Amino acid sequence: MKSTPWWKEAVIYQIYPRSFCDSNGDGDGDLAGITSRLEYVQKLGVDAIWLSPFYTTPNKDGGYDVANPRDVDPRFGNLEDAKLLINHAHELNLRVIADIVPNHFSDQHAWFQAALKADRGSPERNRFHFYDAKPDGTPPNNWISLFGGPSWTQVEDGQYYLHLFDSSQPDLNWENSEVNVDFETTLRFWLDLGVDGFRIDVAHGLVKEDIQENHPDPAGLSEALRLDVEMETSKRNALLESVPYFDRQGVHEIYRTWRRLFDSYGNRDVMAVAEAWVHPPINATLYVRPDELHQVFNFDLLTAPFDGAYLFDVINRSIQLNAMVNALPTWALSNHDSPRVASRIGDSESRALALFVFALPGSAYVFAGQELGLPDGELRDSDRVDPSFIRTNGAIKGRDGARVPLPWSGSHPPFGFTTGKPWLPMSQSWKSLTVESEMDNSKSTLAMYRSALELRALHLTGTGDISWLESPLHGSMRSDLLIFKRGSITVVMNLSIKAQEIELQGVPLIISSGELTNLDGTTLMPALSCMWCLN
Ligand code: GLC
Ligand code: CA
């Protein structure tokens, strides 16, 4: 049974266009490359693709620095290529989600270029956050960019502009109604071209408060925002609740107006998913109230250790919080901003966890390459281009490792990704991880993903909630085994580094991330694995 509307329990495949497939040998993936590989994506069994930005961009932040949101960057092709991609996806029954970047433009956008030429106090400057320097010449406040360094850059006449990210990404002023008018034009532009939904970048950041006030602990705050920095939980929580530029009430009004726009497309069932890193977790649910957006990313699993008690808690919490607003959760193990799950928690662990989350209610996001079990690429510092690497003089390695191009075929780099030189180097060790080689191997991660998604569509979507059978809080209080039932399926995950004896008692096993063995009549479930059985 398929759930309706389409997005409710969709599996959504995230494509980072620069790294997916290059059609013209310049080393950068492009739209025609994506179109040429859509059959592969369809056969994976996903319902939709989400395309990270492919708009006109100087590419200072992987395209999240948009110079014209209503055109395609020549690196990726042109509008005709975008149309072909969307149409072909639809022919294959795949929906298309575009990325919309409303917190900032590129400094190359016509608006910002006009603002630079205009006077202080002008309507052109009012579309961004331009402020005078303090009397001593320093920036209007002490905020730190999320990519490191100050969040203010000074222009020729002495004013400063705000950029929460790179200095090439000036923040837009959402108090200025021209900004929303322009974004509504952009939303309609892509909807009219055929897209089915949007992923909203930094959805929690649009509204700023107290711009001219210093934050009491900007360095602490910027560390708290970095998930790779260890910090005592209570300290981190206190800091995360104090961010003057995130999760302000005003953002919700913007999404209510967008929701009306989406709904005006009637039976197209347009959806939007928010990238909202907010705190405390209950605040995320505000973005998916019935008159706002449809989904909000749950980032818990991007950082969760492979630990039963921990996973049990974050999974339950997400299901319960979403239920309060009648929404379903989303699950993501990897994306273009975080280390790949296979590198972060390990190979067997990442396969087990993927199988586990595919059985949960809600929507699952798969970052291209995850289905191959790809690890992060091994890069030298001289290969890195991420602005967070550049702005911190290398103190933060950045996100390039997760963005190394996909290996398609053959036995040497660039593995069919390009006929030229890939924009980031690919490792010879990926030989056994190409699509071609995994396609031929019934034990590959790719084979497991394909079967899991087929079984999910067959047995799980539309079957409602889960009930835990054994968990850290129930039954034997073991945290090395998580078991739940959903619909006609029982899901078992062995988190221990030891194989465990299990009693299958005639219940048919339908998929497993590891290989079960039979020893003297008892079945052994391998260490760090997950399986689904029919009840
Ligand atoms: C989001 C994107 C990230 C980008 C940032 C600024 O977090 O996912 O890639 O750098 O926004 O646009
Ligand atoms: Ca290309």
Do the beta carbons of residue 401 and residue 374 sit within 8 Å?
no
Most confident region among 228-237, 400-409, 514-523 by mean pLDDT: 400-409
Q: What is the pLDDT of residues 71-102, one digit of tens each?
A: 999 999 999 999 999 999 999 999 999 999 99
Rounded Cα gap, residues 407 and 139, in angstroms: 46
Would you call 4 exposed, middle or buried from its count of C-beta atoms within 10 A (0-12, 13-18, 19+)? exposed
Confidence bin at 2 (pLDDT 50/70/90): low
Reduce the DSSP state of residue 312 to 3 states and report it.
Answer: helix
Reduce the DSSP state of residue 351 to 3 states and report it.
Answer: helix
Rounded Cα gap, residues 496 and 476, in angstroms: 15
Q: Check pLDDT > 70 for residue 472.
A: no
Specify the residue with its C-alpha closest to ligand 1, atom 5.
64
**What is the pLDDT, as a whole number, of residue 521?**
73
Specify the residue with its C-alpha closest to ligand 1, atom 7.
202
Specify the residue with its C-alpha closest to ligand 1, atom 2.
201
Per-residue pLDDT, averaged over 501-514, amounts to 86
Rounded Cα gap, residues 7 and 330, in angstroms: 11
Say what the pTM is: 0.97
Distance 447 CA to ligand 2 centre (A): 28
The pick from 337, 385, 396 for probing ligand 1's pocket by mutation, whose C-beta has the most ligand atoms within 8 angstroms, reads 337
Q: Which residues are catalytic?
A: 201, 275
Would you call 467 exposed, middle or buried from its count of C-beta atoms within 10 A (0-12, 13-18, 19+)? exposed
Per-residue pLDDT, averaged over 18-29, amounts to 98
Q: Check pLDDT > 90 for residue 241.
A: no
Q: Is 202 in the pocket of ligand 1 (CB under 6 A)?
A: yes
Q: Is 297 in the pocket of ligand 1 (CB under 6 A)?
A: no
**What is the pLDDT, as a whole number, of residue 210?**
87
Q: Check pLDDT > 80 for residue 503.
A: no
Give the pairing of strands 271-274 and 197-200: parallel
Q: Which of 535, 421, 420 is nearest to 487 (CA)?
A: 535
CATH number belonging to domain 110-162: 3.90.400.10
Distance 100 CA to ligand 1 centre (A): 11
The single-letter code of the amino acid at 54 is F
Query: In this structure, which ligand is nearest to the CA of 419?
Result: 2
Distance 362 CA to ligand 2 centre (A): 35
Q: Is 367 in the pocket of ligand 1 (CB under 6 A)?
A: no
Q: Which of 13, 52, 16 is nearest to 332 (CA)?
A: 13
The pick from 151, 164, 165, 338 for probing ligand 1's pocket by mutation, whose C-beta has the most ligand atoms within 8 angstroms, reads 165
Q: What is the pLDDT of residues 294-348, one digit of tens each?
A: 999 999 999 999 999 999 999 999 999 999 999 999 999 999 999 999 999 999 9
Distance 519 CA to ligand 2 centre (A): 53
**What is the pLDDT, as a whole number, of residue 476?**
52
Q: Which residues contact 458 (CB under 8 A, 6 or more apart)?
A: none
The pick from 51, 201, 389 for probing ligand 1's pocket by mutation, whose C-beta has the most ligand atoms within 8 angstroms, reads 201
Q: Which residues contact 212 (CB under 8 A, 6 or more apart)?
A: 131, 140, 141
> For all residues of the chain together, what is the average pLDDT?
95
Query: In this structure, which ligand is nearest to the CA of 61?
Result: 1
Show the 3-state SS of 451-499: HHHHHHHHHHCCCCCCEEEEECCECCCCCCEEEEEECCEEEEEECCCCC
Q: Check pLDDT > 90 for residue 229.
A: no
Specify the residue with its C-alpha closest to ligand 1, atom 6.
64
DSSP H/E element including 366:
strand 363-367
The 10 Å Cβ neighbour count of residue 339 is 19
Show the 3-state SS of 203-256: CCCCCCCCCCCCCCCHHHHHHHCCCCCCCCHHHHHHHHCCCCCCCCCHHHHHHH
Rounded Cα gap, residues 357 and 329, in angstroms: 11
**What is the pLDDT, as a whole number, of residue 464?**
85
**What is the pLDDT, as a whole number, of residue 1?**
53
Confidence bin at 249 (pLDDT 50/70/90): very high
Per-residue pLDDT, averaged over 124-134, amounts to 98
Q: Check pLDDT > 60 for residue 473.
A: no
**What is the pLDDT, as a whole number, of residue 5?**
93
Q: Is 171 in the pocket of ligand 1 (CB under 6 A)?
A: no
Atom of ligand 1 nearest to the CA of 65: 12
φ, ψ at 285 (rounded to 5°): -70, -20
**What is the pLDDT, as a whole number, of residue 502?**
82
**What is the pLDDT, as a whole number, of residue 470?**
67
Q: Is 166 in the pocket of ligand 1 (CB under 6 A)?
A: no
* Chain CA centroid to CA 76, Å: 20
**What is the pLDDT, as a whole number, of residue 65?**
98
Distance 61 CA to ligand 1 centre (A): 8
Least confident residue range of 151-160, 180-189, 481-490: 481-490
Distance 522 CA to ligand 2 centre (A): 54
Confidence bin at 501 (pLDDT 50/70/90): confident
Atom of ligand 1 nearest to the CA of 64: 12
Q: Check pLDDT > 60 for residue 506.
A: yes
Ligand 2 (single-atom ion) residues, CB below 5 Å: 22, 24, 26, 28, 30
Q: What does the radius of gyration of the chain's CA atoms come to, in whole angstroms?
A: 23
Per-residue pLDDT, averaged over 428-453, amounts to 97
Per-residue pLDDT, averaged over 56-65, amounts to 98
Most confident region among 2-16, 144-158, 209-223, 518-532 by mean pLDDT: 144-158
**What is the pLDDT, as a whole number, of residue 535?**
86
Q: Is 165 in the pocket of ligand 1 (CB under 6 A)?
A: yes
Do the beta carbons of residue 172 and residue 105 sit within 8 Å?
yes
**What is the pLDDT, as a whole number, of residue 517?**
87
Rounded Cα gap, residues 490 and 485, in angstroms: 4
Atom of ligand 1 nearest to the CA of 61: 10
Q: What is the pLDDT of residues 261-306, one digit of tens each?
A: 999 999 999 999 999 999 999 999 999 999 999 999 999 999 999 9
* DSSP string over 107-143: TTSHHHHHHHHSPTT-TTGGGB-EEPPPTTS--SS--
Question: Which tokens is 512 given?
Answer: 């497993």
Query: In this structure, which ligand is nearest to the CA of 27?
Result: 2
Residue with tokens 């790294």: 19
Specify the residue with its C-alpha closest to ligand 1, atom 9.
337
Question: Which tokens is 398 given?
Answer: 């950045």
Return residue ranges of the chain for CATH 3.90.400.10: 110-162
Query: In this structure, which ligand is nearest to the CA of 417?
Result: 2
* Span 6-103+178-453 CATH architecture: Alpha-Beta Barrel (3.20)
* DSSP string over 160-211: EEE-SS-TTSPBB-TTSHHHHHHHHHHHHHHHHHT--EEEETTTT-S----T
Q: How far is CA 88 from CA 10, 12, 44, 442, in A?
A: 19, 17, 16, 28
Count Cα atoms within 13 angstroms, Cβ side, for 438: 24
Query: In this structure, which ligand is nearest to the CA of 26?
Result: 2
Distance 202 CA to ligand 1 centre (A): 7
Specify the residue with its C-alpha closest to ligand 1, atom 4.
64
The pick from 59, 61, 273 for probing ligand 1's pocket by mutation, whose C-beta has the most ligand atoms within 8 angstroms, reads 61
Per-residue pLDDT, averaged over 238-255, amounts to 93
Rounded Cα gap, residues 353 and 490, in angstroms: 15
Selecting from 3.40.50.150, 3.40.1030.10, 3.20.20.70, 2.60.40.1180, what CATH number does the domain 465-534 have?
2.60.40.1180
Atom of ligand 1 nearest to the CA of 387: 10
Return residue ranges of the chain for CATH 3.20.20.80: 6-103+178-453
Per-residue pLDDT, averaged over 140-165, amounts to 96
The single-letter code of the amino acid at 239 is L
DSSP H/E element including 316:
helix 308-324
**What is the pLDDT, as a whole number, of residue 97?**
98
The single-letter code of the amino acid at 176 is N
**What is the pLDDT, as a whole number, of residue 256?**
98
Q: Is 200 in the pocket of ligand 1 (CB under 6 A)?
A: no
Q: What is the pLDDT of residues 354-388, one digit of tens each?
A: 999 999 999 999 999 999 999 999 999 999 999 99
